[in-house]
Structure 1
Amino acid sequence: MGFVATFDPVSEHERTRAALAAAIPRLARLLREVPDLDAASGVPRWSVGDVGAHLTSVYLAYGSVVSPDAADTAVDWGSVLPSGDLPFVERITAMNDASVAVVDGEGRARLGDLIAERGETFLRITGNLAPDAPVAAPWYGPGPTLTVAVVTGLMLGESLVHGLDMARGAGLPWSIGGDEASLVIGQSMPTMMSLALDTAKARGVRVAFDLVVEGGPRLAVVVDDGAMTVTRDAPPRAYDCRLTVDPAAFLLVSFRRTPIWKAVALGRMRAGGRRPWLAMRLGRLVATP
């Protein structure tokens, strides 16, 4: 197995853009082929149409924060953002519910077209931006600032995973390649794992994970008394647990689409190091809506 020791952020960002550009027409075609938008999806409380509506709203939201003045991406955030200082999971859950309601009946009739239009708009307005250009993400709260690279990785991850959710409900094929999944992990997870840390569960915890993605990035995930840092290509250090993972399997486990026991049983996630039993703890420390 090959492991990437170093990475070029500009090159990797361009590959992520190319992967997103390839995923968008796949999603549009999938939505146009869905026989019943009201069928149950891979998300327990959402129909296939609900997932499609959510995804088109995600595309619109990220385009809006990258280019707030663009007419085709404008969003009235005051009417959408949840009020109050909610914990991460509750805040994102509220935003997800709101995102489904944003798309009306007319929009649902043309979800494939909306996906194509909004995906192409995002790629267009980010085409000349540097990977490290800052981007606000108000749905995560008033503090976090992401980058164009992180946002692009997030959009690719949402596209791949929600494509699977819709395909499962519609009985249609959908694949997630290892290279695509590796790009999502490398571009978005170093930021999002730290942001989604369950600080209450992490209080008093001190543990270091060596997360090795087969054919992809290598991440040092360090939890230190309620805080988490995730670093790519970290200098050598002692780790408590090493996790060697297949990229697509790790992506689906991270999004709670595949149970970790199944990935382990299939040999797609393996734990080692001084304290391999700590591997199960990582997933419990990172909150997921």
Structure 2
Amino acid sequence: MDSLLTALPTALDRLRTVVGSIPSTRKVTRHWDVGDTLAHVASIAAMDVALLAGRPLDPLVPGLDELVAGSTVDQVKDVNVKVLAHLRERDPAVLLGRLTEDLDELLRMARGADPRTVFPWLGGADLPLDGLLAHLLNEINVHGWDIATAAGRPWHLPAADAAAFFDVFFTGLVASGYGKLLDHDGPPHPGKVVVTFRGSAVRPFTLVLERGRVHLTEVVERPDVRLTYDPVTLDLMLFGRVSRVRAALTGKVRVGGRRPWLLPPFLRTVRLPS
């Protein structure tokens, strides 16, 4: 966990640098400008502080506790809409100040704590402390990438930061219990799909999708699907920032295995908000 405690303030410094003098109204994504994007990241840090302190989320945004507990991945956008509608501040300097204060508090509480301590999270999931930190690190990096791209500025996403999203956050979430987070409409995929992930700078891991539920298992050498990947590219691809075609053409995400055609139905369950 020490690497996360170092990577988080470093990522925030990168974010602070790239925001610089960019107007808060500069469009960053289809729906958000710079101010909206920073408000979103700051709200996540504020929620994380509340979770670690054992405080309810409703004082931040009325009704947030119930909304967060009942949300699936596909409903995260509804959570974001409610939070951003309530938190009206859009001044980048103010938001970066709040983010800095909350990150300092978060790191203070995390130092010396057991990284495997679990906290209630989205969709009734249980997320370990180190996974919570890795998730916030990824939010800073992905949305920093958004802002930098919109402004025509470079953004450095370290491979170790992206690797932590898979090696710490995602595997920790699945192992601890993800609740209803990955629930979706429609019948589950019939049969069993075994997918082994092999990324540079990431420990290999295997996920099994069976009867609509996903669990970790021992690494399988001959899985249905083998996903070999560069962590930065796969991270940005899963969040919709890099197309699957581009990821494949660059060779930074490669699909193999005995039955590679089972990857699409697997990804209909194991998905991320984009």
CA distance in 1, matches of 2:83, 2:21: 20
Task: Return structure 1 stretches of 4+ with deviation > 6 angstroms.
Answer: none
Instruction: Pick closer, same or farther for the CA change 1:108–1:208 going to 2, 3 Å.
Output: same
**Which residue matches 2:192?**
206
Percent identity over the alignment is 24
What's the TM-score once normalised by structure 1's chain length?
A: 0.83
Give the secondary structure class of the aligned counterpart of 1:61.
helix
Q: Deviations over 1:150-195 (max 9, x none)?
A: 1011111111101111112222221112121111211111244673
Q: Residue 35 of structure 1 aligns to which amino acid in structure 2?
A: I
Alpha carbons 1:239, 1:273 under 8 Å: kept: yes
CA distance in 1, matches of 2:192, 2:65: 34
Question: Structure 2 residue aligned with 1:183, among 146, 150, 164?
Answer: 164
Give the secondary structure class of the aligned counterpart of 1:110.
helix
Deviation, 1:198, is 4.3
Q: Residue 121 of structure 1 aligns to which amino acid in structure 2?
A: E
**Which residue matches 2:114?**
130
Instruction: Pick closer, same or farther for the CA change 1:83–1:125 going to 2, 3 Å.
Output: closer
Report the number of matched residues: 268
Alpha carbons 1:210, 1:239 under 8 Å: kept: yes
CA distance in 2, matches of 1:110, 1:85: 29
Give the secondary structure class of the aligned counterpart of 1:57.
helix
**Which residue matches 2:127?**
146
CA distance in 1, matches of 2:191, 2:236: 25
Name the stretch that deviates more: 87-96 or 126-135: 87-96
Give the secondary structure class of the aligned counterpart of 2:154.
coil
Alpha carbons 1:82, 1:95 under 8 Å: kept: no
Q: Deviations over 1:97-148 (max 9, x none)?
A: 12323433475452222222221221111112110112122xx23x322110
What's the TM-score once normalised by structure 2's chain length?
A: 0.87
**Which residue matches 2:205?**
219
Alpha carbons 1:205, 1:224 under 8 Å: kept: yes
Instruction: Pick closer, same or farther for the CA change 1:238–1:99 going to 2, 3 Å.
Output: same
Alpha carbons 1:51, 1:162 under 8 Å: kept: yes
- Segments of structure 2 that go 5 or more residues without pairing to the other structure are none
Give the secondary structure class of the aligned counterpart of 2:251.
coil
Give the secondary structure class of the aligned counterpart of 2:268.
helix
Give 1:21-170 correspondences, 5 Å limit: 21-31=9-19, 33-41=20-28, 43-68=29-54, 75-76=59-60, 78-81=62-65, 88-105=72-89, 108-137=92-121, 140-141=122-123, 143-170=124-151
RCO higher in structure (CA 8 A, sep ≥6) = 1
Once superposed, what is the RMSD of the aligned Cα atoms? 2.6
Question: Structure 2 residue aligned with 1:197, among 170, 179, 182?
Answer: 182
Alpha carbons 1:28, 1:115 under 8 Å: kept: no
